[in-house]
């Protein structure tokens, strides 16, 4: 069974293993926990039996007009069960008083995010790969 939480209270780095799949220089679980703690809002999907975090989404925001969703991930063995959609749905509800909620994604995910009312724009990004681990 999956439980959704909107706080990192009581969460440890050990519960955060397995994320950042495919990242060459991923954040460690301890850094991941720091990312979650310092975000404006977070939703976690937790396997109730194992207490393992199996999915998460973060938002950063000015708390007045705008928010950005930098990270969304569901562990591979938990994908395609509706968990990612539930994380986005709950985050959108949390941010519903804001004017702008933006995400940058690959074209293959446009239809996924489109289900939540997001529309396609052109985004521009900078990546300093030497800083990817967050250390």
Judged by CB under 6 A, does residue 2 bind ligand COA? no
Judged by CB under 6 A, does residue 85 bind ligand COA? yes
Structure tokens given for 36 = 């979650």
Chosen residue from 50, 77, 108, 119 binding ligand COA by CB under 6 A: 108
Closest-by-Cβ residue to ligand COA is 84
Residue closest to 1 by CA, chosen among 78, 64, 80, 87: 78
The sign of the CA dihedral 35, 37, 43, 45 is positive
Structure tokens given for 75 = 């562990």
Question: How near is the Cβ of 8 to ligand COA at its closest, in Å?
Answer: 19
Chosen residue from 35, 84, 91, 95 binding ligand COA by CB under 6 A: 84
Structure tokens given for 70 = 């930098």
Report phi then psi at 53, rounded to 5: -75, 125
Site for ligand COA in 22-81 (CB under 6 A): 72-74, 79-81
Query: Number of helices and strands (H, E) in the chain?
Result: 3, 6
Region near ligand COA per CB under 6 A, out of 8-16, 30-38, 58-66, 104-112: 104-112
Chosen residue from 112, 132, 133, 134 binding ligand COA by CB under 6 A: 112
- Measured between alpha carbons, how far is 63 from 54 in angstroms, rounded to an integer? 27
Binding footprint of ligand COA on the chain (CB under 6 A):
72-74, 79-85, 103, 105, 108-109, 112
């Amino acid at each position: 069974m999956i439980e959704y939480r909107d706080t990192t209270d009581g969460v440890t780095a050990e519960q955060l293993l397995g994320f950042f799949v495919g990242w060459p220089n991923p954040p460690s679980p301890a850094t991941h926990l720091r990312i979650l703690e310092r975000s404006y809002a977070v939703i976690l999907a937790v396997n109730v039996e194992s207490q393992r975090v199996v999915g998460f989404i973060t938002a950063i925001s000015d708390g007045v007009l705008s928010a950005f969703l930098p990270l969304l991930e569901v562990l591979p063995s938990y994908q395609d069960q509706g968990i990612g959609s539930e994380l986005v749905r709950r985050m959108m509800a949390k941010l519903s008083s804001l004017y702008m909620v933006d995400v940058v994604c690959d074209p293959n995910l446009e239809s996924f995010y489109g289900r939540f009312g997001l529309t396609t724009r052109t985004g521009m990004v900078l990546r300093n790969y030497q800083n990817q681990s967050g250390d």
